[in-house]
Amino acid sequence: MPANLLQRITTLHPETGGQMSHRICDVRVVDGLVSEVGDLTPKDDDTVDDLDGYLLLPAAVEPHAHLDKAFLAERIVNKTGDLMGAITAMRENRHLLGVDDIIERAERAARLMAGNGYTAVRSHADTTIEHGLRSVEALTEVRRRVADVIDVEIVALIGWPLMGAAGADQRALAREAMQAGVDLVGGVPHLEGADDRAASEWLLDLASEHGMGVDLHTDETLDPEVLGLVDLAELTLAGFDQPVTASHCVSLGMQPEAEQRRVAELVAEAGISVIALPHTNLFLQGRGHAPMPRGLTAVAALRDAGVTVAAGADNLQDPFNPVGRACPFETAGLMIMAAHALPHDAWSMVSQHSATATGRRTGGLEVGDPAHFVAVRADTVREAIATGPADRRVWRHGREIVL
């Protein structure tokens, strides 16, 4: 069977004590999987690629995006710069966002991600009374269009209010979304106020009915009194048997150390993955606070408890985040600066841990690992994150991505 032989490439290898070493070796890929690693001699049917000077890394997975909002920063302005300012700006300008417009921007963002080193992206799709299923319709089309370069997973981001008589229409729309091509159930329980636990329970029940996992925007606030992550963990432990992801979890970072440890252990017991989102949370959270908090979840406490913690970029040049390059090296760099992660841990959070959190695998150097890789001109992972080299190559299922 024809194989690809990646020669003289620098690779990462784990050492005792949690450290990583860098070694130069060859990697043979057969049928989209790693078949050999070492000092290899080319075979007659090998396609040989000399990658001297490149660092080979597991490809990135974007665990939390909003492709339907990408590149709206010039068109829709967040006048207050905080979370509610962004939500209000979107609500007031829904009339500007038709299906074709969403498709164009979302496809552009997805292809940018693919070229930058991502092989998969999980995107939330606004599913609200004002917006209907336009984002779901658009992202299902984008998923089809970009299937040759990147996997797109769609989460129905179900709006609020969700509970009581006021939420009847929203609940009906949520059920429609389940038949429209989404992969997971999403929502924003912490914006339900006193009904936040009931909203989480309803969303889990909906997911159970359809055999889907959930990915909820959780506790996207600095208010330490809001801790819906505990509700989500308790409800999951009560019998929900599908994958559960909690995104943001900002208020956990505002808890005392002992409470962080307690909640982290509960989250670990429930098997919930947590997504840290430094771009958007650093931008939206903490305005008007003195001293100004970082607005991140309790990354260290969660990791110490054994929780899978991934890192994502969230919003891309829109009212929730006016900047961003759809680049995993940018996200990893922010995790180093804002969460005090070591470089190899930061890359793991945008690659292996993001893959785990989204129920997939990314590249590895064990025989049988999928050949999902990004290669950049750098000697170490720290250098790669620091410089974010423009000269990068991406392989998905062993095939190099060509855009």
Q: Which residues are catalytic?
A: 220
- Report yes or no: 373 and 56 within 8 Å, Cβ to Cβ: yes
Q: How far apart are CA 160 and CA 158, in angstroms?
A: 7
Instruction: Name the DSSP letter for residue 327.
Output: -
What amino acid is encoded at 318 in this protein?
A: D
Per the CB < 8 A criterion, the answer to whether 173 and 182 are in contact is no
Q: CB burial class (10 A; 0-12, 13-18, 19+) of residue 76?
A: middle
Written as six digits, the tokens of 79 are: 């006048």
Determine which helix (DSSP H) or strand (DSSP E) holds 106, and give its type and residue range: helix 99-116
Question: How many C-beta atoms surround the C-beta of residue 392 within 10 A?
Answer: 20
With tokens 């990646």, the residue in question is 6
**Rounded Cα–Cα distance for residues 396 and 152 (Å):** 14
DSSP characters over 167-197: GHHHHHHHHHHHTTT-SEEEE-GGGGGGGHH
CB atoms within 10 A of CB 248: 30
313 backbone dihedrals φ, ψ, rounded to 5°:
-95, -15
DSSP letter (8 states) at residue 235: H
Cα 5 from Cα 194, distance rounded (Å): 58
Looking at residue 317, what DSSP letter applies?
Answer: S
**Residues 357 and 307 sit within 8 Å (Cβ to Cβ):** no
Element (H, E) at 127: strand 118-127
| Number of residues written out for the chain | 403
Structure tokens at 59: 């490809």
Q: How far apart are CA 307 and CA 18, in angstroms?
A: 17
User: What's the token pair of residue 374?
Assistant: 């990004």
Handedness of CA 78, 79, 82, 86 (dihedral sign): negative
CA–CA gap between residue 105 and residue 19 (Å, rounded): 40
